[in-house]
Structure 1
Amino acid sequence: MSICRRIRALHPVALPLLLGGCDGPQSALRPGGQDAAQLYLLFVVMLVGAVVLWLALNGLFFYFTRVNQQQFSLRHGNRIIIGAGVILPTVVVGSLLAWGLSIMPSQRAPGDGLVIRVTGEEWWWRVEYWPPGADAPIVSANEIRFPAGSRTELRLTARTYIHSLWIPSLGGKMDMIPGRETVLTLHPDLEGFYRGQCAEFCGASHAMMAFESVVMAPDDFDAWLAHEAAPASRPQTPMQVRGQDIFRDEGCGACHAIRGTEFTGSVGPDLTHLASRHSLAAGIMEVERDDLMRWIAHTRDIKPQVAMPPYDWLDAEELAALAAYLESLE
């Protein structure tokens, strides 16, 4: 039983707010991999140590002010000050620092082959998968998937502003700096969905720069990656065909790429398999028709200073057709 569950069992009524962050897809107290488990252990040790020190120091304070109020000699007083105020903190803090530093190398250990390049944009995530031996990346956006049970290397950079990639349930955070590449490796173990977030204030839409992270069984990940590398599916219904025509006529392909079509833009997110993703607009909306229509028509009302202009001149029928085409991109 985890520490959070034990506390809940002891006091289920008085601590709901305190324990609200102990669970959920973006909780550092719900480790889903080796790196997050190490950080969780570090947190527990530091917390227990802080509680023990607090109780000990306050116990001594109570003892000398309430129980034993006799006057001490100068030598005895100096011994207490040096022992409790200098030697004990130095030993405790030094030991914790040495132990904490000893677990850091694993956070930078080499990956097992798969490399994922992530670029922080305004305000979304460009994601490129580089399997071993690949000549070109498999491009996606606003979602990062990992195979469970192996260490994946993340190579990070940014386009304009400094960002920071953080998936609390899988490991620590790492800054993304324009013109520089930083490296973070993660070893997720538990399959499931985890939420990531930009952890560095980067501008007007910083709070709306999130993403879904999915940890999959290795075979499932390989099948998903093969599907991700394939071209987009063709529109099947008259409404989807009309939506593709609107996509072309409105110049959407100048910014967005859809592999297997004439659309090869690179300014915005790759939309080849948009409908297979679990969120829209960097983690803030659902990939379903109403949200797609609202996003297309009101981008800058929803996400301030986003580069994509709002297509508010399209009528409801045109927006529905365009959304139907995007929904077909599985």
Structure 2
Amino acid sequence: MACVLFLQGCAGWQSALDPKGPAANELAWLIWFFTALCALIWVLVMIALAAPLLMRPRAPSEPLVLNAGAEHRKLRVVLIAVAMTVSVVVGLTLLSFFANRTLAAIGSGAALTIRVTGHQWWWEVRYEDATPNRILTTANEIHIPAGEPVRLLLTSTDVIHSFWVPSLSGKLDLIPGRINVLDIKADKPGVYRGQCAEFCGAQHANMGTFIIAEPRARFDAWWNDQLRPARSPASGEAKTGEDLFLHRPCVMCHRIGGTPAGGTVAPDLTHIASRRTLAAGTLTMSRGNLAAWIADPQGVKPGAHMPVMELNGDELNAIVAYLEGLK
């Protein structure tokens, strides 16, 4: 039973031992191989330590005379141990080299490039395209076509972050002023959770992300939908919410396509209601959580850069009605 409970930690959507892509498969194989090899070496070392204790040599008749045979055997043991150590080091070095070559080959032929920028504490996601009006900017969720390599360009605007989606790839730092390249591929459609893996401040633990792998046709449809401007308010309350949003400080930070809101220092909200979560994975998307996040962001995510807006109940409900219609 204890073994079963232990192995449960090797599965799940945020486990490096539950690979769903070629990069993660390569890394998981390395983890298991290194673990088995280290276990074998530990057993051999324990045997080598126990052998002299269990095999007591007979006391020599002349204590000051060396036993040439015994000395030669000890020398052979030492030479064998040195040879095994050198072989293991060389073997692991070659294994690491070939593994890195395999990882580097994953991105060959990648047709999709996504720039991921780390902020305290959320992810800006920009889909690059040769046609300027096809460039798409969203936040926190990364949609990719399943079965196809994708190239991620990683950078940061403030401190060092680290991008890590264990089921798909290893981790790589996002460094201000520098672009690091990470190639990923999801073998099949699914939702894969990621996390910032470098301490980046008070809300480091609440800086999550989701990679959503979809069939190519569904991915293309999603991209086309995301390029459309925000929907017009469908009700009087939502229209009031839009007016409030556009006349409050919200427009200084957030962008909503098709409206005068053009802020660039906070997540793009053009299609916020189509996302699965709020505040970089801190809350699931719902009307109640959306209201809670707007009313008291510091209560939900202490230290977040989103200020508290002075809104009465009717104003809050109107803004929530407007935002939950942005799908």
Question: Deviation of residue 45 (structure 1)?
Answer: 1.0
Cα RMSD (Å) of the superposition? 1.6
Question: Deviation of residue 56 (structure 1)?
Answer: 2.6
Q: 1:58 aligns with which of 46, 57, 72?
A: 46
Separation in structure 2 between the aligned mates of residue 29 and residue 111 of structure 1, nearest angstrom? 27
Q: Which residue of 2 aligns with 1:236?
A: 234
Q: Which residue of 2 aligns with 1:264?
A: 262
Matched AA of 1:105: R
Matched AA of 2:9: G
Question: Deviation of residue 25 (structure 1)?
Answer: 1.1
**Pair 1:25-2:13 in alignment:** yes
Q: Which residue of 2 aligns with 1:273?
A: 271
Q: Which residue of 2 aligns with 1:107?
A: 103
Separation in structure 2 between the aligned mates of residue 233 and residue 105 of structure 1, nearest angstrom? 46
Contact 1:157-1:178 within 8 A present in 2 as well: yes
Mark the CA change 1:26 to 1:234 in structure 2 (over 3 Å): closer, same or farther: same
Contact 1:163-1:177 within 8 A present in 2 as well: yes
Helix, strand or coil: the match of 2:94?
Answer: helix
Question: Deviation of residue 209 (structure 1)?
Answer: 0.7
Runs (4+) of structure 1 exceeding 6 A deviation are none
Separation in structure 2 between the aligned mates of residue 116 and residue 55 of structure 1, nearest angstrom? 46
Question: Deviation of residue 245 (structure 1)?
Answer: 1.6
Question: Deviation of residue 157 (structure 1)?
Answer: 0.6
Matched AA of 1:134: T
Q: Which residue of 2 aligns with 1:8?
A: none
Q: 2:215 aligns with which of 214, 217, 241?
A: 217
Q: Which residue of 1 aligns with 2:297?
A: 299
Write the mapping of 1:112-261 to structure 2, written as runs, cut at 5 A.
112-131=110-129, 133-136=130-133, 137-261=135-259
Question: Deviation of residue 111 (structure 1)?
Answer: 4.7
Question: Deviation of residue 227 (structure 1)?
Answer: 0.9
Q: Which residue of 2 aligns with 1:284?
A: 282
Deviations 1:34-84 (A, max 9, x none): 100000111111111122222233234334422x33268223222212322
Question: Deviation of residue 190 (structure 1)?
Answer: 2.1
Question: Deviation of residue 135 (structure 1)?
Answer: 2.1
Q: Which residue of 1 aligns with 2:62?
A: none
Matched AA of 1:315: N
Helix, strand or coil: the match of 2:7?
Answer: coil
Deviations 1:220-250 (A, max 9, x none): 1111111111111111012211211221122
Q: Which residue of 1 aligns with 2:65?
A: none
Query: Unpaired runs of 5+ in structure 1?
Result: 1-12
Q: Which residue of 1 aligns with 2:77?
A: 80
Q: When the two structures are superposed, what TM-score results if normalisation uses the length of structure 2?
A: 0.91
Separation in structure 2 between the aligned mates of residue 39 and residue 316 of structure 1, nearest angstrom? 51
How many residue pairs get aligned? The number is 314
Q: When the two structures are superposed, what TM-score results if normalisation uses the length of structure 1?
A: 0.90
Query: Unpaired runs of 5+ in structure 2?
Result: 59-68
Matched AA of 1:329: L
Separation in structure 2 between the aligned mates of residue 288 and residue 179 of structure 1, nearest angstrom? 36
Q: Which residue of 2 aligns with 1:89?
A: 85
Helix, strand or coil: the match of 1:266?
Answer: coil
Separation in structure 2 between the aligned mates of residue 128 and residue 189 of structure 1, nearest angstrom? 23
Larger Rg: 2
Q: Which residue of 2 aligns with 1:6?
A: none
Helix, strand or coil: the match of 2:155?
Answer: strand
Matched AA of 1:320: N
Q: 1:69 aligns with which of 24, 32, 56?
A: 56
